[in-house]
Amino acid sequence: MFQKRREKLVSRMQQQQIDLAVLVPGSNMYYFTGLQLKQSERLTLAVITANNQLFFLVPQVELTKVDANNGGAILSYSDEEGPEQAIQQLKNELGALHTLGVEFDTMHVKEQKAIEKLTYDNLCDIGDSIRELRMKKDDHEITFMRQAVQIVEESLEATLPTIQAGVSEMEVAAQLEYEMRRRGSEGTPFGTIVASGYRGALPHGRASTKKIEIGELIVIDFGAIYKGYVADMTRTIALGDVSPTLKTIYNIVKQANETAIAAIKPGMTAHDIDDIARKIICGAGYGDYFTHRLGHGIGLSAHEEPYLMQRNHLVLKSGMAFTVEPGIYVQDVGGVRIEDNLIVTENGYENLMNYTKELIIL
């Protein structure tokens, strides 16, 4: 699998006359090599040549993880030695290069300074090619995403009984994260959002010490990771009866979510889908309160291409995966967001989520 992915990347490199691609720890390194590490103070690089050779430059403390992956020459260093000698070995292996491709959006300055010790003429961004390759999910990836979705749906259902008056948002978030871990989640891709009452007007209202009260809506936005792949779910829950205004806002967001999803198919653009949801919210008089794009891509990252937003005329194709999450946020009143995870299919779409979008009243 990883070899086939590298072959596609190498084909792009050859077309663009890029001699070498240097990847840093993160989702791209994992996607092309199977090595799953986080960026740290210890220099770690994966290097892919235009003739599809693979090199790893890693600290000794991570050697066992690299050994578990197929292929690739390994250059390592101890903490005491530092990476200088390993970089020189890599330089000797590679020789003189013309163009070197790096990830401009994820590479740290320290990592760039290290690769500057190689011999090359030009440095270019290989990010666009990588993002385009990663946008189309294969069956292997979709299987993992389905499992991640199952984890978040089951975890929310298990957490609902703990949402009561006097319970803090942090307590709800902690229970939710515990339930996801119990079901196999490797962690959370972002800080869990539990925003109740007036705090629901904060699109990124991370869980706080605020106590939940009767008559409030609670926006719960959270994610799971399974085999590296992310599920990202939002539901808005009511504790007791809520005001007619909040019910109206909820129904508008629900209509925007469902109508936009129903329109998803190959040939539509990211702008088109955003526009469908936005017109419903604007038509109801809440356009100024929908303050973000409709959705973002999901996969090995919580946010990746494609982005469903105004003026993004990217044409949707089979295999693309993204969220649809319209929202309305009214200061000092509250907020509503409903989010599903979608895959574009040959004839339309698959909604990976089955969880109800009817307003749940606890």
Q: Distance (Å, rounded) from C-alpha 262 to C-alpha 265? A: 9
pLDDT at position 71: 77
- 163, 237 Cβ separation under 8 angstroms: yes
Element (H, E) at 113: helix 109-115
Q: Helix, strand or coil for residue 6?
A: helix
- 100, 123 Cβ separation under 8 angstroms: yes
pLDDT at position 68: 61
Residues of the chain with pLDDT > 70, as a percent, come to 99
Parallel/antiparallel/unpaired status of strands 193-196 and 122-125: unpaired
Query: Which of 350, 345, 349, 324 is closest to 256 using CA atoms?
Result: 324
Tokens (6 digits) for 1: 């699998």
Q: Give the max Cα distance, the chain.
A: 71
Give the position of tokens 């329109």: 263
Query: Which of 222, 199, 197, 291 is closest to 253 using CA atoms?
Result: 291
Q: Distance (Å, rounded) from C-alpha 218 to C-alpha 325? A: 15
197: left (phi over 0), alpha (psi -120 to 50) or beta: left
Tokens (6 digits) for 312: 């993004």
Tokens (6 digits) for 110: 């320290």
Task: Tell me the Cα Rg of the chain.
Answer: 23
pLDDT (tens place) for every residue of the chain, 362 residues total: 899 999 999 999 999 999 999 999 999 999 999 999 999 999 999 999 999 999 999 999 999 998 766 678 999 999 999 999 999 999 999 999 999 999 999 999 999 999 999 999 999 999 999 999 999 999 999 999 999 999 999 999 999 999 999 999 999 999 999 999 999 999 999 999 999 999 999 999 999 999 999 999 999 999 999 999 999 999 999 999 999 999 999 999 999 999 999 999 999 999 999 999 999 999 999 999 999 999 999 999 999 999 999 999 999 999 999 999 999 999 999 999 999 999 999 999 999 999 999 999 99
Query: pLDDT (tens digit, 9 = 90+) per residue, 22-77?
Result: 999 999 999 999 999 999 999 999 999 999 999 999 999 999 998 766 678 999 99
Q: Distance (Å, rounded) from C-alpha 143 to C-alpha 126? A: 28
Q: Distance (Å, rounded) from C-alpha 88 to C-alpha 91? A: 5
pLDDT at position 70: 62
Q: Helix, strand or coil for residue 292?
A: coil
Tokens (6 digits) for 273: 């889908």
Tell me if the bond preceding 59 is cis, omega within 30° of 0: no
Residue spans per domain, the chain: 2-134, 136-361
Q: What's the CATH architecture for 136-361?
A: Alpha-Beta Complex (3.90)
Give the position of tokens 């925007």: 256
Parallel/antiparallel/unpaired status of strands 54-59 and 73-77: parallel
DSSP assignment string, 13-46: HHHTT--EEEE-TTHHHHHHH-------SS--EE
Is there a shared CATH topology between the 2-134 domain and the 136-361 domain? Answer: no
Helices first, then strands: H and E counts in the chain: 10, 17
Query: Which of 1, 108, 94, 113 is closest to 50 using CA atoms?
Result: 94
Instruction: For domain 2-134, give the CATH number.
Output: 3.40.350.10
Element (H, E) at 59: strand 54-59
Element (H, E) at 158: helix 139-159
Overall residue count recorded for the chain in this entry: 362
